[in-house]
C-alpha cells in the first residue's frame, strides 16, 4: 500500500547504477526524470530500506536502516564533524529534520488526520527523502544520492505548537560531498505544507533547505518534489550534480497549455482575460475577451476551465464558494485566509441592511440628508426584530449570519474614515480637493500644464473639434492678478486630464440606468502663498448634431448657485478620478501588470537563481488576490461594475488605458514624475531629481523608498554578477525577460521602449521597477482607499445625475433644494455601503503581512550568503531611517499637504504597520 514508485531506474547488481537523465520535453507537470534511488521489494510492507549510493570509486554502497524506527530518539547529530564515522566502512551518519506546518486552528477531524499522519511518518510509511549531492558520480554523470524514509518523532518546537518535526537518518560515504537537493515523496493521501529541511552531520554544519511549499500527495502526482538548499547559483555556476535537477524542476511547473488545472498542482501558464463574463447565466453578463489586438491586456494565470456553453471564447465561471485555481503555493496561508474571510463576512453584513431596504421598498434608497451618511459611523444601521426576521428569510442567509444579526442593533457600524475624523467639513474645501491630488489615494494623475492650447488626440470626425474650452483668458481670470504666461513660466499651472480616456465611453456609460458622467479636465493653480487649488473644470459630452461643441467650463464663482454647481462639478471629477484610480492606476498598473512578472519568474528562473530569491518575497499572495478579484470584483456584475461609474464597460476602459498609455519603462517612479512634468532631472539634487512642487508627499516620500530599493538591488546584483558579460550570458535571466515581453505582455511585445537586458545597470532598473510596483507603488494607491473613500461625498465612485442646465426642468428643482440635488446625484445607500465594505477590506493589513525590509521569522534562512544578509540588513536600516524622515516631514509646518488644522499626516509610504486599517505600511507584495 505504501510502496514508493521507483524514482530512478538502475541496475540491480553491485556493479552500481548506470543511468543518465534523458532529454526533457515540456510536459504538464510530469517529469520524465530517471531518479536516484528506490525502495527494495522487501520494504513494501514496512521492512528494511535499501539505499543505493553511488560512490566515487564506481562501486555501489548499500545502507540499511531498520524498519522499527529505533535509533531516532535522542539528540541531533553534532554539526562540527559528523554523527559518527567508521574508517573501515568509510561512512558517516547524518540526519535530516523536516518541519511541517499544521493548521493553527484545528477542528476534531484535523486532529484525527494529524494523528494518523504522524503515526505513518513515525513508522516510515509517510514521507520518503533522497539526498542528492552537488558532486557527480563519474559512472552515472549525475549527482550522488541516497534514500531513506522519515521515521520516529521529535518533540514539538516550543515556540510554534503548529509546527511538527520528523527525522530521517542516512549513512553516507565520506566522499559523498555536500548535499545540494532533497527529493521528497509524500505517501499520505493529501498534501502537506513543508517549511524546511535541515541536514545535520556534515562537516560544514547544518545545511538548510528552505521550502515553504505544499508537497503534493503521490496519488495525485507520482513525481517527487525537488527542494534545493539555500545556496544561490547562476545557471553556469550550478554544481554538476544539480544541473539536470535544476532544469527539470523548471520544466515541471510550466505545463503544456492543455487541460483543466487541479487544486494540488503548481503549474504556471498564461491565458487571456476570458473569464470575466457569464453569458450562460444572463446575456447581459456577456463581456468581451481582453488580450487580443482590439482590446490588449496583460496575461493572467491559466486555469484551463472548459468554455462557456453560449460563448466558446469565454471560460466557464467558478461560483463561490468554490476556489479559483492558482498554483498551490500561491494560496493564502491560514492567517490570511481567516482575515480575508472575516473581511468578506463583514462586507456581506454591511451590504445586508441596504439589501433589506431594497427588499422592503420599491427601489434602492438615496441619501436624503448628510445625517443619513453620518449615521453609518455614529449610530450604525438599526433593524427592528420583525425586519431582521423577514429580511433573513427573504435573503436566505446562512445560519451564521442569522445568528450574528440577533446579537445587537448596533452591529452594522462603520469606523469613521480618516478624512473626516479630524475635520468633518474638510471635503468641502477646494484646498483639500487639491491636496488629495498630491497626498491622497490617487496621487499619480496630476501633471504640469505643459502645452497650450489644450488639444485632444481623439479623432475629430467622431469626437468633434480637438480644442479645449479652457481658454487662456478664462484661466487668467482665476489667477488673482498673475498673467497666464507667468504662471506657465513659473510652473504654477497643473492639470488632471481624463478627457481622452473617458470621452469614447461617455455615451455608453450614460445609457446605463442611473449613471451619468462626463469626460473631465481640471486645472489647478499653485498660488504665491504656497497653496494648490482647483480653478477651472471642463466637463465634456460627445458631440451631437444639435450640439457639435458639447463642452462646459465651471469655476468657483461668487454666489450660492455657482458654489453649488461647482460642488457638483468637483464631485463628477472625483467620480472620474475614482474610476481611473481603481481600474487603471490600481488594478492595471499594479495587480494586472505584476501577474505576468510572477508567472515568468516561476517558469524561467530556478528557485536557486539569485534573482528568483530576490523577487520571491514580492510575489506573495498576488495571484490569489487577482483570481479572487476576477471572481467577485472586476467580473461582469461584480462590485466594481455595480458601484463605479464605468459600469459594465469598466474593464474595456482598463484595456483602452493599457493600449494608450501603459509603458514598462514609465512605471519607474522617477520616469513617471518626469513624464508628468512633476520633476526635472538635477544631478545635484537628492535622487537626481528636483520636484516642481516641494510639497508633493507621494513623490517626496516615494523617492526615498525608490532610492533605498534601488541601492539594495544594485548591491545585490553587483554581488552576483561580477563579470561584465554575466547578465547577457545568463540563459535563465534572458529567457525570463523575453517571456515577460513576448508572452506576459505580448500585445506590447514590439514596442521600442522595452529596456534591453545586456548589463547590470539594465537588470537593476528592471528589478527596481518590478519591486517598486509590488511594494511602494501599490501601497501608496491601495491602503488609503477607506481612509479617503469611506466618506462618500469626498470620493463618490459614480454620479447619477448630470449637472442641470438653465433650460432644463431639473434646474428649478436644483434651485429650490440644491442639497437634495447633490445627494441624489451620489451613489445610493446600497452602492455606498457596498463600496465602503470593499474599501475597508482592501485597506486592511493581515496579521501575517510581510513588510518591505522585514524578514519573516519562519523564512529566515532564505539564502546562505553572509554578504547578502549584511546588504539586506543595510536595506532594512535604511528603511528605518526613511520612516523617521517621513515622520519629521509630517511635523514640518511649511508642508501644508501634511500639516495644518484637521489635516491628516501623509503616512501611506511609512514602511511599517500593524494589522488592520492603518493608512500606512508597505507590504513586500500585492497581498490584498
**CB burial of residue 123 (10 Å; 0-12, 13-18, 19+):** middle
Question: Cell 537586458 identifies what position?
Answer: 757
Which positions ≥6 away from 651 have C-beta within 8 Å? 273, 276, 287, 290, 583, 634
Average pLDDT on 226-238 reads 97
Tens digit of each residue's pLDDT (9 = 90 or more) over 722-759: 998 999 999 999 999 999 999 999 999 999 999 999 99
Is residue 447 within 8 A of residue 676, CB to CB? The reply is yes
How far is it, in rounded angstroms, from Cα 880 to Cα 870?
15
* 489 has pLDDT over 70: yes
Tens digit of each residue's pLDDT (9 = 90 or more) over 892-919: 999 999 999 999 999 999 999 999 999 9
What is the chain's mean pLDDT, rounded? 85
Question: Cell 505582455 identifies what position?
Answer: 745
As a whole-number percent, the residues of the chain with pLDDT over 90 amount to: 70
Higher pLDDT: 21 or 675? It is 675
**DSSP result, 110-141:** HHHHHHHHHHHHHTT-SEEEEEEEEEEETTTT
* 594 has pLDDT over 50: yes
How far is it, in rounded angstroms, from Cα 649 to Cα 281?
18
Q: Which pLDDT score, from 0 to 100, does residue 114 have?
A: 76
Number of Cα atoms under 13 Å in the Cβ half of residue 307: 9
In this structure, the strands spanning 551-554 and 85-86 are unpaired
What are the angstrom distances between the C-alpha of 564 and each of 573, 575, 628, 704?
A: 14, 17, 40, 40
Q: Which pLDDT score, from 0 to 100, does residue 344 have?
A: 58
Is residue 316 within 8 A of residue 280, CB to CB? The reply is yes
DSSP code, position 851: B
Is residue 627 within 8 A of residue 325, CB to CB? The reply is yes
Buried/exposed code over 635-654 (b: 16+ C-beta within 10 A; e: otherwise): bbbbbbbbbbbbbbbbbbbb
DSSP run (H or E) holding 202:
none
Which range of 54-68, 325-339, 693-707 scores highest in mean pLDDT? It is 693-707
pLDDT class for 35, splitting at 50, 70, 90? very low
Paired with 545 in beta bridges are: none
User: CA torsion sign, 304 to 307 to 308 to 312?
Assistant: positive
Question: Cell 464631485 identifies what position?
Answer: 571
Let me know the angle formed at the C-alpha of 166 by 163 and 167, rounded to the nearest 5 degrees.
Answer: 145
Query: What's the length of the chain?
Result: 928
* 7 has pLDDT over 50: no
**DSSP result, 478-544:** TSTT--HHHHHHTT-EEEEE-HHHHHHHHHHHHTSTT----EEEEEEEE-TTS-EEEEEEEEE----
Q: Which pLDDT score, from 0 to 100, does residue 32 have?
A: 34
Which positions ≥6 away from 361 have C-beta within 8 Å? none
C-alpha cell, 50: 535499501
pLDDT class for 152, splitting at 50, 70, 90? confident
C-alpha cell, 653: 476602459
Contacts 24+ apart (CB under 8 A), 684-690: none
As a whole-number percent, the residues of the chain with pLDDT over 70 amount to: 83
Q: Which residues are catalytic?
A: 586, 591, 778, 782, 928
Lowest mean pLDDT among 28-32, 263-267, 306-310: 28-32
Q: Which pLDDT score, from 0 to 100, does residue 128 have?
A: 95
Q: Which pLDDT score, from 0 to 100, does residue 346 have?
A: 58
Is residue 631 within 8 A of residue 255, CB to CB? The reply is no
Phi–psi pair at 336, nearest 5 degrees? -65, -40
Taking Cα atoms as reference points, which of 251, 243, 245 lies closest to residue 26?
251
pLDDT class for 321, splitting at 50, 70, 90? low
Spatial strand order of the sheet with 532-540 comes to: 447-448, 493-497, 519-526, 532-540, 551-554
* 859 has pLDDT over 70: no
* 327 has pLDDT over 60: yes
Q: Which pLDDT score, from 0 to 100, does residue 156 have?
A: 64
Which positions ≥6 away from 207 have C-beta within 8 Å? 178, 179, 198, 199, 229
**DSSP result, 249-273:** HHHHTT--S-S---TT-----EE-B
Tens digit of each residue's pLDDT (9 = 90 or more) over 397-408: 333 333 333 333
* 392 has pLDDT over 80: no
Average pLDDT on 762-769 reads 98
Amino acid at each position: 500500500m505504501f510502496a514508493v514508485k521507483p524514482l530512478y531506474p538502475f541496475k540491480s547488481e553491485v556493479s552500481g547504477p548506470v543511468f543518465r537523465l534523458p532529454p526533457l520535453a515540456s510536459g504538464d507537470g510530469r517529469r520524465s526524470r530517471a531518479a536516484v534511488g528506490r525502495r527494495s521489494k522487501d520494504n513494501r510492507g514496512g521492512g528494511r530500506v535499501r539505499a543505493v549510493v553511488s560512490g566515487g570509486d564506481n562501486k555501489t554502497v548499500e545502507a540499511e536502516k531498520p524498519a522499527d524506527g529505533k535509533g531516532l530518539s535522542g539528540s541531533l547529530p553534532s554539526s562540527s564533524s559528523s554523527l559518527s564515522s567508521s574508517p573501515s566502512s568509510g561512512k558517516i551518519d547524518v540526519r535530516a529534520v523536516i518541519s511541517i506546518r499544521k493548521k493553527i486552528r484545528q477542528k476534531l477531524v484535523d486532529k484525527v488526520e494529524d494523528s494518523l499522519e504522524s503515526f505513518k511518518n513515525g513508522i516510515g510509511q509517510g514521507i520518503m527523502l533522497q539526498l542528492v549531492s552537488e558532486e557527480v558520480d563519474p559512472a552515472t554523470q549525475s549527482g550522488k544520492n541516497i534514500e531513506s524514509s522519515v521515521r520516529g518523532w521529535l518533540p514539538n518546537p516550543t515556540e510554534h505548537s503548529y509546527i511538527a518535526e520528523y527525522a530521517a537518518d542516512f549513512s553516507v560515504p565520506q566522499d559523498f560531498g555536500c548535499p545540494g537537493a532533497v527529493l521528497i515523496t509524500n505517501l499520505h493521501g493529501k498534501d502537506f505544507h513543508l517549511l524546511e529541511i535541515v541536514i545535520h552531520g556534515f562537516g560544514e554544519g547544518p545545511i538548510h533547505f528552505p521550502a515553504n511549499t505544499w508537497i503534493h500527495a503521490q496519488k495525485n502526482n507520482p513525481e517527487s518534489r525537488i527542494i534545493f538548499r539555500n545556496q544561490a547559483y547562476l545557471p553556469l555556476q550550478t554544481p554538476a550534480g544539480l544541473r539536470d535537477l535544476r532544469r527539470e524542476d523548471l520544466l515541471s511547473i510550466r505545463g503544456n497549455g492543455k487541460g483543466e488545472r487541479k487544486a494540488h498542482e503548481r503549474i504556471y501558464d498564461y491565458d487571456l482575460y476570458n473569464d470575466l463574463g457569464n453569458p450562460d447565466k444572463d446575456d447581459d453578463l456577456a463581456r468581451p475577451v481582453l488580450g487580443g489586438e482590439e482590446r490588449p491586456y496583460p496575461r493572467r494565470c491559466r486555469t484551463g476551465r472548459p468554455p462557456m456553453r453560449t460563448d466558446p471564447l469565454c471560460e466557464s465561471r467558478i461560483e463561490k464558494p468554490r476556489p479559483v485555481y492558482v498554483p498551490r503555493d500561491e494560496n493564502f496561508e491560514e492567517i490570511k485566509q481567516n482575515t480575508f474571510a472575516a473581511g468578506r463576512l463583514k462586507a456581506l453584513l454591511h451590504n445586508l441592511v441596504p439589501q433589506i431596504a431594497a427588499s422592503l421598498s420599491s427601489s434602492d434608497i438615496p441619501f436624503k440628508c448628510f445625517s443619513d451618511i453620518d449615521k453609518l459611523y455614529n449610530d450604525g444601521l438599526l433593524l427592528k426584530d420583525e425586519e431582521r426576521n423577514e429580511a433573513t428569510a427573504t435573503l436566505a442567509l446562512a445560519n451564521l449570519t442569522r445568528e450574528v444579526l440577533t446579537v445587537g442593533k448596533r452591529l452594522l457600524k462603520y469606523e469613521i474614515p480618516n478624512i473626516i475624523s479630524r475635520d468633518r467639513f474638510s471635503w468641502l474645501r477646494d484646498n483639500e480637493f487639491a491636496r488629495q491630488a498630491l497626498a491622497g489615494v490617487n496621487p499619480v494623475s496630476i501633471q504640469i500644464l505643459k502645452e497650450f492650447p489644450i488639444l485632444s488626440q481623439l479623432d475629430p470626425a467622431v469626437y468633434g473639434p480637438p480644442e479645449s474650452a479652457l481658454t487662456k483668458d478664462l484661466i487668467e481670470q482665476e489667477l488673482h492678478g498673475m498673467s497666464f504666461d507667468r504662471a506657465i513660466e513659473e510652473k504654477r499651472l497643473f492639470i488632471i486630464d481624463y478627457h481622452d480616456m473617458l470621452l469614447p465611453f461617455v455615451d455608453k456609460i450614460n445609457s446605463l440606468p442611473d449613471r451619468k458622467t462626463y469626460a473631465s479636465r481640471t486645472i489647478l493653480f499653485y498660488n504665491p502663498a504656497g497653496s494648490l487649488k482647483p480653478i477651472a473644470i471642463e466637463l465634456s459630452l460627445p458631440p451631437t448634431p444639435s450640439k457639435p461643441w458639447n463642452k462646459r467650463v465651471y469655476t468657483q464663482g461668487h454666489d450660492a448657485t455657482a458654489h453649488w454647481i461647482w460642488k457638483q462639478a468637483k464631485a463628477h471629477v472625483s467620480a472620474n478620478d475614482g474610476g481611473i484610480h481603481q481600474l487603471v492606476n490600481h488594478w492595471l498598473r499594479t495587480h494586472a501588470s505584476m501577474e505576468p512578472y510572477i508567472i515568468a519568474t516561476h517558469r524561467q528562473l530556478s528557485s536557486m537563481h539569485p534573482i528568483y530569491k530576490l523577487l520571491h518575497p514580492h510575489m506573495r499572495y498576488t495571484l490569489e488576490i487577482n483570481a479572487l478579484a476576477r471572481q467577485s470584483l472586476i467580473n461582469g456584475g461584480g462590485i466594481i461594475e455595480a458601484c463605479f461609474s464605468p459600469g459594465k464597460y469598466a474593464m474595456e476602459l482598463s484595456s483602452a488605458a493599457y493600449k494608450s498609455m501603459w509603458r514598462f519603462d514609465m512605471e519607474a517612479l522617477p520616469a513617471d514624475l518626469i513624464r508628468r512634468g512633476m520633476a526635472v532631472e538635477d544631478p545635484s539634487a537628492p535622487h537626481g531629481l528636483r520636484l516642481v512642487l516641494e510639497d508633493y508627499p507621494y513623490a517626496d516620500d516615494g523617492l526615498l523608498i525608490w532610492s533605498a530599493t534601488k541601492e539594495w538591488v544594485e548591491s545585490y546584483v553587483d554581488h552576483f554578477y561580477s563579470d561584465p558579460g554575466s547578465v547577457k550570458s545568463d540563459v535563465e535571466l534572458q529567457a525570463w525577460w523575453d517571456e515577460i515581453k513576448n508572452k506576459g505582455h505580448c500585445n506590447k511585445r514590439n514596442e521600442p521602449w522595452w529596456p534591453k537586458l545586456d548589463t547590470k545597470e539594465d537588470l537593476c532598473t528592471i528589478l527596481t521597477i518590478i519591486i517598486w510596483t509590488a511594494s511602494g507603488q501599490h501601497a501608496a494607491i491601495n491602503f488609503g482607499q477607506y481612509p479617503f473613500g469611506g466618506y462618500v461625498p469626498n470620493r463618490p465612485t459614480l454620479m447619477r445625475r448630470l449637472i442641470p442646465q438653465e433650460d432644463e426642468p431639473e434646474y428649478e428643482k436644483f434651485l429650490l433644494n440644491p442639497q437634495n440635488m447633490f445627494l441624489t446625484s451620489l451613489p445610493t445607500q446600497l452602492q455606498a455601503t457596498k463600496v465602503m465594505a470593499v474599501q475597508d477590506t482592501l485597506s486592511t493589513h493581515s496579521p501575517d503581512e510581510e513588510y518591505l525590509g522585514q524578514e519573516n521569522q519562519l523564512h529566515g534562512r532564505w539564502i546562505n550568503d553572509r554578504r547578502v544578509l549584511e546588504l539586506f540588513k543595510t536595506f532594512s536600516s535604511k528603511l528605518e531611517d526613511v520612516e523617521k524622515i517621513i515622520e519629521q516631514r509630517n511635523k514640518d509646518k511649511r508642508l501644508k499637504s501634511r500639516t495644518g488644522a484637521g489635516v491628516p499626516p501623509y503616512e501611506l509610504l511609512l514602511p511599517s504597520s500593524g494589522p488592520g486599517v492603518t493608512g500606512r505600511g508597505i507590504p513586500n507584495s500585492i497581498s490584498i
